[in-house]
Homo-oligomer: A and B are copies of this chain.
Amino acid sequence: MAPPHAKSSGKQAGKALVVPLNNGISVTKEANFSQWYQEVVTKSQASTFFDVSHRLFPFPGSAYTDQLFSKASSMHIWNTIRAWFQTRIEQMGVEETSFPMFLSAKSLEKEKEHVEGFAPELAWVTKAGDKDLEVPVAVRPTSEAVMYPYYAKWIRSHRDLPFRLNQWNSVVRWEAKQTTPFLRAREFMWQEGHTAHLTEQLAEKEVLEILELYAGVYEQLLAVPVVRGKKTENEKFAGGYWTSTCEGFIPATGRGIQGATSHALGQNFSKMFDITVEDPNKKGEKIFVWQNSWGLSTRVIGVMVMIHGDNNGLVLPPRVSKFQVVIIPVGLTAKTSNEVRENLAKQIQDLAGGLKENGVRTEVDNREGYTPGFKFADWEMKGVPLRLEFGPKDAANSVVTYSRRDTGLKGTIPLAEVAKEVPVLLEKIQQDMYDKANEYFTSHRLTLNDWAEVIPALDARNVVLIPFCGEPSCEERIKDTTKSDEHRELGPDGKPQPSMGMKSLCIPFDQPSGIVQGETKCLNPECGGFAKSWVMFGRSY
């Protein structure tokens, strides 16, 4: 079912259109989530027909790669995140770098455990022009193997520590599986930080500082609540020591989704690449440095779309939306005099000017030949947080009519108050979007003590916290035994598919009480071992 406010806009959009509105979505988010998502992120490409600069999310999904950032708005979101994060890591002392995109087979041999995970997805350059390369090179899936040989050369003394570099680039993982815009692409944009420290404690401190920044990107910029925690052995970064993560939740499917990960690599890589310094306390003895790596990708945008989007299209949080407000002239008919038209245009110009002066990213939709209803639907598709309507009636009453994209709530603001009130309203929208998503996540994260409740909870679109032993083999069994042959979900082809088993999402840092070490049992009835902690499990992306 479409939310209540969708109906009115739908009606407006249906009125006498000059050109057909072809950015509508053919399915509801509730009926076929997978197709809804694909359409929301691709369909608004149709809007290029009318207005290039506001084009959103055109993902042509070509055969070879499917990550395409060709319109201003998703680029704006990513650049906003980039600037926010970059400022904060600079304050921490992390420097920007840029390493080559290729890595040789030779450097890969050093780190077999790590590489095994990536090997099937490595894209190999074997030819230059029509000549075979003597030594093929792979496009980086991540840069440990590219960077760490240099770390071994550059880090010579404990005075070089902490050694911290970050780069913004794109990496390639040649997925054989179905790709999904933003979530699973063969090429994707991200940042990758690679740091080295003298002690485990110093490294650990940074891992958690970065995780907090990642959570901040979700919570403060994208209005997406996350659960902070640690990955289980099964789910940690290949070759690392331990992995911290922030985990999101997609209400429409009840699935968990990994948000971003910050890895403690321990000394595993420093031993492989021989990255050492002399112990400052014991002359002549060498210490293998403690390393971290951490990455945040454009996946964040996909998570945001999945959580906030609705049956009218995107819903963007004000803090990241390129345009926060769109002003649409309304109430003009063939009978409207030129004088009224001109006055209205002038007032709208003043309105926009006042908003821009107050730092509100404002767009006026003066396109001719389109009805207000068409424009409403078009900007709703694009997710702009706040629509202001202004017509002769509003002018007569000295008000402007607003409509919130997130709730559909409408109201009026006195003209004289607009420049002051809109920033407040935008912040309220930001907060409300977060609160709504957070309430949903909180109420669909069930703490269970009875195995019999697990599958029904998953089927009711929840994730669950259960007492768990932490053993990889037990986790594998749980994944198997929670699979279901009942066809409750629609696959990308629109056909019902068997439900997937649940996997561990994280060991939340914020642990409920109730587990007594050496007493509380692992909830898996086949296990029989003792539970170490509450672990969040769920079906997931």
Contact = CB atoms under 8 A, between A and B. Distances in A.
Interface range on chain A (Cβ under 8 Å from partner): 35 or more
Given A63-B135, A124-B128, A125-B139, A187 B48 contact: no
Given A62-B100, A70-B165, 15 more contacts: A48-B154, A48-B156, A49-B157, A52-B154, A52-B160, A64-B135, A65-B100, A65-B102, A65-B137, A72-B97, A75-B97, A98-B189, A121-B129, A123-B128, A129-B174
Nearest to A118: B129
A421 interface: no
Interface string A442-453: 000000000000
Interface string A179-207: 00000000101000000000000000000
A372 to B, nearest CB: 19
Copies in the complex: 2
Contacts of A130: 120
A55 to B, nearest CB: 7
A172 B55 contact: no
B128 A125 contact: no
Interface string A113-126: 00000011111111
Contacts of A55: 154
User: Could you tell me the dominant secondary structure of chain A's interface residues?
Assistant: mixed
Pick from A64, A135, A159 the residue with the most CB of B within 10 Å. Answer: A64
Contacts of A125: 123-126, 139
A79 interface: yes
Interface of A: 45, 48-50, 52-53, 55, 58, 60, 62-65, 67-72, 75, 79, 95-104, 119-130, 135-137, 139, 147, 150, 153-157, 159-160, 163, 165, 169-170, 172, 174, 176, 187, 189
What 7 A-B pairs come out closest when comparing CB atoms? A128-B174, A69-B98, A120-B129, A65-B100, A124-B127, A48-B154, A52-B160
A100 B171 CA distance: 11
B135 A128 contact: no
Given A69-B97, A75-B98, A125-B125, A104 B160 contact: no
A170 B49 contact: no
Contacts of A102: 64-65, 187
Contacts of A122: 128-129
Contacts of A159: 50
Given A58-B154, A64-B102, A65-B102, A96 B119 contact: no
